[in-house]
Structure 1
Amino acid sequence: MEKALDIKIVEALRDYLTSGVEDQVDYQKFYLYSIVTHSTAIEGSTVTEIENQLLFDEGIAAKGRSLTEQMMNVNLKDAYIHAFKIASENPTYTPHLLQQLSALVMRRTGSEYSTIAGQFDSSKGEFRLCNVSAGIGGRSYLAYNKVPSAVDKFCKWINNEIANIEQTDIAACYRLSFEAHFRLVTIHPWVDGNGRTTRLVMNMIQRQLGLVPSIVRKEDKGEYIQSLVDSRENEDSTIAQDVMLFHHIANLNRRVTEYRESLMKNY
């Protein structure tokens, strides 16, 4: 399956880039809004893409949506704009940079926490000083006192991988970004916003490597989360990589098909 997907992503990306789909007016902006909407939806937001367009471009609040939901989306949009700008500058990943990104993600919805180990503020991107688990009955994540060293190790790893990867190997580049997402979310550095922030880092790496950013669609939430669980329990990250690569291929193909169908309707 792995080899077949690696071939298909190359074909799908080539078809996508030559289709003309990205030539549509404001396509990149709306693609970003789609990334944001789906990422927050995975975390419980009910704000739609159309509502986000009105919120981001016109400042029109979505009726019936909570302020927290809307601020979650505004935060993530701002974080992506910043992250994609940095990505074009070939950044070096550091714990401080990751905290900056998390701070943008949690800017308006984060909170201060007081624990036995001390106080920390999630709106400032500070690493957690408490232990967390994956839901009721779920496995515990890394102990909080081990988070700083684990994040430091992660940064050294990803910087080295990016420096040495062959950027013409499209499948390898995507797999590296998915692997980075899996490793960082498994560390779970923050008390909240781990999913949004680690998917942001994944997309930032993709932009840095010249790839079309992948979207984890809300419709694929169950399979996506299960793939992370299965990868963790089986100590085999290719499980998550395959699932995310499969859905990215499907998303690229879907967008090309929809674009071509829209052209046919105009003739």
Structure 2
Amino acid sequence: MALPVPQLRQKLALLRRLPHSFGWDGLASAIGKSRKTMQEWVRGTATRAPDQIAEDSLPAFLALLARYRPDLDEKARARLFLGPLLDFETALLGASTHFIEILNRDAVRQGVRLILADEASGLIERDEPVPDDRPRLRFRQRFRLEYPPRPGCPHAVALQQIGRIWGASMPFRTANALLVPSVKRTGEPAYMFERTHPGHHRFYLVQAGEAFAPEVREYLRTAAPLDGRFFQALATLYEDLGPDRRACHVIDIEIEPA
């Protein structure tokens, strides 16, 4: 019996790019079907419409998804695989492929400052030159970021990506920079540090000439977990603005265990 899977081609393409899938052949092996059979699911045949899989293959897809989302039960994984592509991408990548492509297309590194707190006194700051490759920090090493403001772009959101984990916050604007994290109630600079997730961290600052959609502002206000609606709303606004009314800066940092 055939089971419809919306946008099956795009979902299989995403699965093929994930670790341990190894292209068409690796994905076919994981599902227990031939590459030819999977391509026929996408294209359709004389007796089967496109974007349909054999119903008895669904458990194999759900088992594959469990490698990347072990926190979800079988019913939740089935809803993702059989549901909208945006939710599927967000669940696996933390943000849609389209959104990540938009950011990386425009992202520039020039002008981003990495400020380290002096660990001895906690008062003296050190302006760390950002090397061409990613700087390396230790667990619990306190730091903050300063981004250059874009004229005509009064709205900004800071994003942090660790694999498929994303976070968002509001930067603090001064006359000459946008600070991440924001400042303390006393007006003194605040710092952040990492203590649980080693590895590659990517920090974006997105600036816009128009106010963000209510969905984006609500997530920032409540600190709710980000999902497809947040990324879609932010990507839509960013793309609709002209190049002179938007900006994206990025810095990559490697966090090493102490």
Q: Classify the TM-score, shorter chain.
A: under 0.3
Q: TM-score scaled by structure 2?
A: 0.28
Q: What is the TM-score normalised by the length of structure 1?
A: 0.27
Higher share in strand: 2
Rg larger for: 2
Q: Which has the higher contact order (CA 8 A, sep 6+)?
A: 1
